[in-house]
């Protein structure tokens, strides 16, 4: 999936930056009910242009396809069997999601150099 245009790329970076506020960092912040477990649900909470949010969600889904969630993608990539998640697993996956958002922010920021 190619995103062309500096303004459009920066808009994606901005959506991903705002998404971090709504994405749970750990089990406790998720249980508080204020934050989301999944990146796409956190994107839905961002107060940005609908089309920029839609593009961001499409990009996330495109990158982890054919899987529906990052944890199923990770389990497959790491060769693990997907079983009931412990709080430690949840926290590690959330940490990975935040790191991935940081990478996406850097990738789509206007000052990004290939």
Tell me whether residue 42 is exposed, middle or buried, using C-beta atoms within 10 angstroms of its C-beta: 0 to 12, 13 to 18, 19 or more. buried
Assess if residue 34 is contained within a domain. Answer: yes
Q: Tens of pLDDT along 58-106? A: 999 999 888 888 777 877 777 666 565 666 678 888 898 999 999 999 9
Assess if residue 14 is contained within a domain. Answer: yes
- How many structural domains comprise the chain? 1
Assess if residue 66 is contained within a domain. Answer: yes
Assess if residue 110 is contained within a domain. Answer: no
Contacts of 59 (CB under 8 A, 6+ apart): 1, 3, 12, 104
pLDDT at residue 112 greater than cutoff 60: no
Domain that holds residue 25: 6-105
Tell me whether residue 107 is exposed, middle or buried, using C-beta atoms within 10 angstroms of its C-beta: 0 to 12, 13 to 18, 19 or more. middle
Q: Under a CB-based contact definition with an 8 Å cutoff, are residues 8 and 72 in contact?
A: no
Assess if residue 13 is contained within a domain. Answer: yes
- Residue 110 is predicted with a pLDDT of 72
Assess if residue 113 is contained within a domain. Answer: no
Assess if residue 114 is contained within a domain. Answer: no
CB atoms within 10 A of CB 49: 12
**pTM score > 0.75 for this model?**
yes
- Residue 45 is predicted with a pLDDT of 94
Assess if residue 52 is contained within a domain. Answer: yes
């Amino acid at each position: 999936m190619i995103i062309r245009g500096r303004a459009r790329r920066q808009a994606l970076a901005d959506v991903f930056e705002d998404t971090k506020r709504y994405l749970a960092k750990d089990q406790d912040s998720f249980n508080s009910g204020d934050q989301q477990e999944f990146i796409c649900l956190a994107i839905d909470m961002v107060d940005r242009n609908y089309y920029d949010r839609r593009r961001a969600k499409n990009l996330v889904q495109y990158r982890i396809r054919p899987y529906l969630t990052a944890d199923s993608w990770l389990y497959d990539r790491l060769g693990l069997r997907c079983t009931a998640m412990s709080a430690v697993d949840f926290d590690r996956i959330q940490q990975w999601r935040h790191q991935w958002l940081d990478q996406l922010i850097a990738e789509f920021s206007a000052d990004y150099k290939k």
